[in-house]
A and B are shown apart, each in its own frame.
Chain A
Amino acid sequence: MYDKGKIIAGLIIGMLIIMLPFWLNIGKTRKLPDPKLSEKAKLAEKCILPTDEMRSAHQVLLVEWRDLAVRDGERLYYSEYNQKKYEISLENTCMDCHSNKKEFCDECHNFAGVTGGSSPTCWNCHNEPKE
């Protein structure tokens, strides 16, 4: 093999650069997301589904709500979990209670990298709550 030294040195330098993020963050810990409830949400005690389900599957619920409201014209949702009726609306129901988007939604979304221009695109059209 010609230029053995140069190639191996280049490979080592390349690997170091590729692994730079790991080297820079070695031994460090990162704060876990800690979404905070708004006063209104605290008072309500129960959301429309158990917390676990909301955490893992709120996006599924949002898609179901979207289809019910836009495609079926059905704007009333009855929650089996807390036995209450709600208007199917992101702005007027979800965000009315969870009015602290920055401390609530963004907390986990930023941590998990589910953010930015393409995902999710809800707020391109739907109005964010004023904070």
Chain B
Amino acid sequence: MDKIDRRLFLKIASLSILGVTAGSLLEVVNPKDFKDNSIEPLTKLKAKRWAMAIDLTAINEAIINNCINKCHVTHNVPNLRDKQHEVKWIWQEKYSAVFNEGDNDFNLTTLYKNKNIPVLCNQCDNPPCVRVCPTKATFSRDDGIVVMDMHRCIGCRFCMAACPYGSRSFNWTDPRPYIDKINEEYPTREKGVVEKCDFCMERLDRGELPICVEESKNTIIFGDIGNKNSEIYNILSRRTFLRRKEHLGTRPQIFYLI
């Protein structure tokens, strides 16, 4: 046999490396399939930045009431009549009370002055509640959702003082007696914790849209504003919108289309 020259050596060497690594290469291409799925694979909805646009030109009180109702039933939100003890994730408020800064008498938005509009946690990009929480019970997820970890909440209510939108409620009593029918698939809360809307993160993680979006008859648009091809990005780039108390620098991610 001829003397092994450089070319041949390189050929043999590269082929043997390929031979040795082929197995693991195949594994990368074909990840080991789960043999027996005890659940349907969850296709989590992912985003760079979740945001919500509420179309005030289309939404009406019937739709809002339905959204509130479905949200509160799904998340076991108690129905406490006492205004001081009330717990709410999404509710309605007069337009003039929501956008109450400045003079609304002679501008574009006079149209909505007496209209009820839905309000919920603004899922701020710069959330003051997260900054003040002493236990990191409330935190921002990578996709921008401001989440409450009920396991960590000590009920100090700093977050409630910090939130400029009043989006948070404190459980002054055990909420269970005030829930008409408990949704067994979702936990309730207990006395002494703060709660709020979390963009239905448990539904997003299961591949479903937030319940209010589903019930809104397309008057609430939900999506990823980190993605320039998304519907919400498109809508926000061509329509006029308002955000609550923008001057505070919280960068709210609920956009009201007008």
Contact = CB atoms under 8 A, between A and B. Distances in A.
Interface of A: 66, 69-71, 73-76, 78, 83-87, 91-92, 121, 124-127, 130
Nearest to B205: A75
A84 to B, nearest CB: 4
Best-buried of B37, B39, B147, B189 by chain A (most CB within 10 Å): B39
A91 B185 contact: yes
Given A87-B42, A130-B184, A124 B190 contact: yes
Classify the secondary structure of A's interface with B: mixed
A91 B202 CA distance: 13
B150 interface: yes
A78 B38 CA distance: 10
A104 to B, nearest CB: 18
B188 A83 contact: no
Contacts, number: 61
A64 to B, nearest CB: 13
Classify the secondary structure of B's interface with A: loop
Given A84-B37, A85-B37, A66 B151 contact: yes
Contact of B34 (A73, A74, A78): A78
B189 A125 contact: yes
A126 B36 CA distance: 28
15 contacts: A69-B205, A70-B147, A70-B149, A70-B151, A71-B139, A71-B149, A74-B205, A75-B44, A75-B205, A75-B206, A84-B36, A85-B37, A85-B39, A125-B188, A125-B189
Nearest to A76: B42
User: Which 5 A-B residue pairs are closest in the complex by CB-CB distance?
Assistant: A124-B190, A84-B38, A125-B187, A75-B205, A126-B187
B201 interface: yes
Contacts of A87: 39, 42, 206
B188 A127 contact: yes
